[in-house]
């Protein structure tokens, strides 16, 4: 998504000052057309995925709709699928180790069984009602992989390791998009708003795309910065709790902020014309 850089941002239609800031100004250079075409294709693919998740309707909404926000974060069922397996793991593991006095390794298996079992139930429910099982299946694969890693190491902390790599990969990918001059959030919003890659010619929108891409990088980096110390300190309870808090709730907060930015950058007429 995109964000205004502040009151000093230039108006629509302005060009950036220099090729380094706006690579798109080098039109005609041998690699520019290919770069634009490649970025455009990535943008279309990301935007198509975002549209299916409900982000398109959220971005174009004149008013922030609670229903669209809920759809964008996966709906009630999607939120439950994202939160409950991790919550059940945390409750069962903490209950067995802190209150029942079980050894951490002995408590690991029933906690993982409860978590994986719930993820399986969610996936089966999606298939039975003939809904879109992609999210549930993806969640199940993640839960299974995390559980397998924790069982292999015998360490409950490792149930969260894959999440570290996922957040690091997102942060790295977004950072690379900034460095090559095609901020990923700008690409996604551009196609969602029917702007294609034209936003790159507009100084205000381009700076907004850079800013919002940094905001999303901050989300993934913040998760790592907060959760890794708990992992290193072997504090499974704090690690699990922060993973839940910084999951869907923080994601929704950044989505709302992104919507406010898109609403400021794209005029009402552009959004209503979609």
Q: Do residues 140 and 123 make contact, with C-beta atoms less than 8 angstroms apart? A: yes
Q: What is the pTM of this model?
A: 0.79
DSSP letter at 3 equals: -
Residues 217, 173: Cα–Cα separation, whole Å: 9
Domain ranges of the chain: 63-154, 155-268
Per-residue pLDDT for the chain (274 aa), expressed as one digit of tens each? Answer: 433 343 333 333 333 333 334 444 444 455 566 667 776 676 677 667 666 656 666 766 767 777 778 887 878 888 898 899 999 999 999 999 988 888 898 999 999 999 999 999 988 888 888 766 676 687 789 899 999 999 999 999 999 999 999 999 999 999 999 999 999 999 988 888 888 888 999 999 999 999 999 999 999 999 999 999 999 999 999 999 999 999 999 999 999 999 889 888 887 644 444 4
Helix axis angle for 248-265 and 75-94, nearest 10°, is 150
* C-alpha torsion sign, points 172, 175, 181, 183: positive
- Transcribe 209-273 into DSSP letters: HHHHHHHHHHHHHHHHHHHHHHHHTT-HHHHHHHHHHTTHHHHHHHHHHHHHHHHHHS-HHHHHT
């Amino acid at each position: 998504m995109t964000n205004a850089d502040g009151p000093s941002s230039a108006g629509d239609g302005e060009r950036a000052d220099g090729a380094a800031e706006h690579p798109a100004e080098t039109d005609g250079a041998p690699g520019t057309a290919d770069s634009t075409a490649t970025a455009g294709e990535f943008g279309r693919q990301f935007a198509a995925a975002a549209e299916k998740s409900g982000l398109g309707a959220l971005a174009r909404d004149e008013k922030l709709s609670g229903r669209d926000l809920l759809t964008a974060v996966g709906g009630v069922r999607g939120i439950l699928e994202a939160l409950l397996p991790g919550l059940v793991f945390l409750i069962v593991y903490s209950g067995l180790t802190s209150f029942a006095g079980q050894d951490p390794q002995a408590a690991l298996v029933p906690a993982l069984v409860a978590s994986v079992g719930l993820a399986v139930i969610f996936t089966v429910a999606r298939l039975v009602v003939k809904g879109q099982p992609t999210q549930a299946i993806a969640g199940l694969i993640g839960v299974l992989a995390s559980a397998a890693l924790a069982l292999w190491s015998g360490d409950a902390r490792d149930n969260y390791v894959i999440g570290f790599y996922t957040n690091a990969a997102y942060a790295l990918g977004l950072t690379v998009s900034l460095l090559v001059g095609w901020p990923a959030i700008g690409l996604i919003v551009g196609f969602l708003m029917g702007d294609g890659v034209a936003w790159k010619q507009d100084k205000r929108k381009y700076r907004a795309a850079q800013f919002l891409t940094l905001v999303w990088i901050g989300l993934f980096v913040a998760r790592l910065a907060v959760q890794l110390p708990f992992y290193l300190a072997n504090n499974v309870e704090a690690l699990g709790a922060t993973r839940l808090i910084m999951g869907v709730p923080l994601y929704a907060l950044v989505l709302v902020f992104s919507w406010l930015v898109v609403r400021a950058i794209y005029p009402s007429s552009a959004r209503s014309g979609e």
